[in-house]
Structure 1
């Protein structure tokens, strides 16, 4: 049987959790609740300050205003801030006309509080989302996490593996590079599309999320050519002169290893041939999305034998200021060959962690960078297995 203190503690925890969940919803009721709590705390602070300023000076009032900036929308924040400033000034004036002495330090602190309150309101008024600072950050983090979860390749059946690595510009955590993947387990077919939206970092993150949602609904539902055409039409309908992107789409039969690559202005895919251990440039070419009404695409087709692999990447990996992109592609091809190492009976020896190792070789730049490697595992040698 649960003790009464334990029951009370459980109720308190549940009550607090309900208040937090209500605040995260952004509802008017939760905003009123937070505003009332802050008004009560401000009032208590001002009452103590009026009797014993040394115990509750201007500092605690400023702390409550900062808490309000983090938790409240603009309108309730105006009420809380006004109450805090008016109350502080009123207490100072009362002390000035009363028996207590109003020194220069307190006058300076009061003026500083007024200026700080104005800055708090200015910052809150410039929140374009209309959400409190903390809640707006929570929404952005959730959007970032959703975009990253969409870029996870589903677990592949035996005989296949995939690895990816992505690095946002300036390490801000938001990128215009994204991947959408779909695995049809019944047909044993994998479809993936790697996209590089124009821009970088936070500026491209929101556009990437919107575009990823649109492509996620089409991937696997329409043929690859229609998917690329629909993506092109989607970008053309956007009211922006910078709404364009490059993309590469691959459809892979996980039974036979047959694949088809469609490129829309994207840097060419690299293919590892186990027979010679070198990476070769794929021939798929096409027009970037959102540029022309009829996006042209010349696909390439092939078959991945056991030990072969495909590498997909964005232009941030191979582009350098003042350098031709072909030179960057050749650098990536030779670097991947070096990192992969010699080819043996079990296939290339250096494919594990290859995307991260490639990104570590890329010079620091101001563009998003992404690498994905899709590998067909070598077939075990019966002679070696029987030993």
Structure 2
């Protein structure tokens, strides 16, 4: 069996170590900002008492570290403290601070702030930005298309964005196995709303689409969690529900991570079953994600419903009341075959300020 070159392995290890340190820094911004500001003040004190050991230009190292590890606002704080302290030493008549030192520290603080601001990603504006938004939206929709299914199966998928924005933080990814009758569907709710959440959704949908079907079903959510942890995002978490269905027998397996539980509507008995998949935190929160799968069987006439929390976030209702409301609508619309996914969303009249996604897996 071929082995990966050692240089490639070393590069991968270095990349994983770097992203891990970036993740730790992202999760401890206040503490890290305090440490770097303390270093700047310590350098200032050292410049006064032992300039040979503590030149004021040592602040440049701290400013660079801030630009690499902190968000824009924190970088700005460190830069202002470094430049302000240097100017105070110079105005105070310190002979160990030259005009060149003053210029170097001030420019470094400004450059670090500019770098951190650019890293946040400027908004898309103008005609070119509009075309990019349309293209990204279409790509995200393409990732969520349900593949062709055998006779007897039908899947409906509807995603609506908050305030009818071009982007949604909710998305759907699906895959069928070439060597078997298995269908896999993942419904994801990315933190945040609008364009930023939509861009993160596009990246995650592409990555999750590559993972889906490439590994045993039990490994998908942990692998998705690892991928999300490696991203350096201010809002770096997402909830997800993953379903694997044998289209030959109707047997399914479903697991979730910080996501509302799926609902199984039984045509034979008329029962509405809420699947107990709650227990795992959202993706991108803990290093080792453990998910517990639930199994069942979709009989002819049954419907399995996967959805995001936008359907159960209703003003004036707690979670239990909102879930009961969803189940009532599902029974009135789906069990009586009066409509499908769009009809459920229309009947709910859920909060337009939140993204919503609904997938119905129906066996005819």
TM range (shorter): 0.5 to 0.7
Count, aligned residues: 244
Question: Distance between the aligned counterparts of 1:259 and 1:149, measured in 2?
Answer: 25
2:240–2:282 contact (8 Å) kept in structure 1: yes
Q: Match for residue 127 of structure 2?
A: 134
Q: What do the CA deviations read for 1:299-332 (whole angstroms, capped 9, x no partner)?
A: 1001111111100110001012453222211111
Matched, 1:219 2:212: yes
1:129–1:136 contact (8 Å) kept in structure 2: no
Structure 1 residues 253 and 168 mapped into 2: Cα distance closer, same or farther (>3 Å)? same
Question: Distance between the aligned counterparts of 1:131 and 1:256, measured in 2?
Answer: 48
Q: Match for residue 190 of structure 2?
A: 197
Structure 1 residues 185 and 234 mapped into 2: Cα distance closer, same or farther (>3 Å)? closer
1:280–1:333 contact (8 Å) kept in structure 2: no
SS in 1 for 2:249: coil
Aligned equivalent of 2:173, options 177, 180, 184: 180
Matched, 1:376 2:338: no
1:265–1:287 contact (8 Å) kept in structure 2: yes
Q: What do the CA deviations read for 1:176-222 (whole angstroms, capped 9, x no partner)?
A: 10000011254011011000000112220000001111101110001
2:152–2:363 contact (8 Å) kept in structure 1: yes
SS in 1 for 2:359: strand
Aligned equivalent of 2:265, options 248, 269, 272: 272
Unaligned runs of 5+ in 2: 1-120
2:181–2:247 contact (8 Å) kept in structure 1: yes
SS in 1 for 2:350: coil
Question: Distance between the aligned counterparts of 1:251 and 1:364, measured in 2?
Answer: 30
Question: Distance between the aligned counterparts of 1:262 and 1:288, measured in 2?
Answer: 12
Matches for 1:155-174 after TM superposition, within 5 Å: 155-174=148-167
2:137–2:166 contact (8 Å) kept in structure 1: yes
Q: What do the CA deviations read for 1:161-188 (whole angstroms, capped 9, x no partner)?
A: 0112111001012101000001125401
1:355–1:373 contact (8 Å) kept in structure 2: yes
Q: Quote the offset at 1:370 in angstroms.
A: 0.9
Q: Match for residue 50 of structure 1?
A: none
Question: Distance between the aligned counterparts of 1:228 and 1:253, measured in 2?
Answer: 19
Question: Distance between the aligned counterparts of 1:180 and 1:215, measured in 2?
Answer: 7
Aligned equivalent of 2:221, options 225, 228, 232: 228
Q: Match for residue 312 of structure 1?
A: 306
Q: Match for residue 17 of structure 2?
A: none
Q: Match for residue 345 of structure 2?
A: 359
Matches for 1:249-268 after TM superposition, within 5 Å: 249-268=242-261
Q: Match for residue 18 of structure 2?
A: none
Question: Distance between the aligned counterparts of 2:128 and 2:176, measured in 1?
Answer: 35
Question: Distance between the aligned counterparts of 1:161 and 1:185, measured in 2?
Answer: 19
Question: Distance between the aligned counterparts of 1:146 and 1:198, measured in 2?
Answer: 19
Question: Distance between the aligned counterparts of 1:238 and 1:306, measured in 2?
Answer: 42
Question: Distance between the aligned counterparts of 1:131 and 1:324, measured in 2?
Answer: 37
Question: Distance between the aligned counterparts of 1:253 and 1:366, measured in 2?
Answer: 36
Q: Which has the greater radius of gyration?
A: 1
RMSD, aligned CA: 2.1
Q: Quote the offset at 1:283 in angstroms.
A: 1.3
2:313–2:351 contact (8 Å) kept in structure 1: no
Q: TM-score scaled to structure 1, two decimals?
A: 0.60
Q: Match for residue 332 of structure 1?
A: 326
Q: Match for residue 37 of structure 2?
A: none
Q: Quote the offset at 1:230 in angstroms.
A: 1.4
Question: Distance between the aligned counterparts of 1:202 and 1:227, measured in 2?
Answer: 26
Unaligned runs of 5+ in 1: 1-127, 343-348, 378-387
Matches for 1:57-206 after TM superposition, within 5 Å: 133-206=126-199
Aligned equivalent of 2:296, options 297, 302, 306: 302
Question: Distance between the aligned counterparts of 2:156 and 2:128, measured in 1?
Answer: 33
Q: Which runs of 4+ in 1 moved over 4 A?
A: 128-132
2:310–2:351 contact (8 Å) kept in structure 1: no
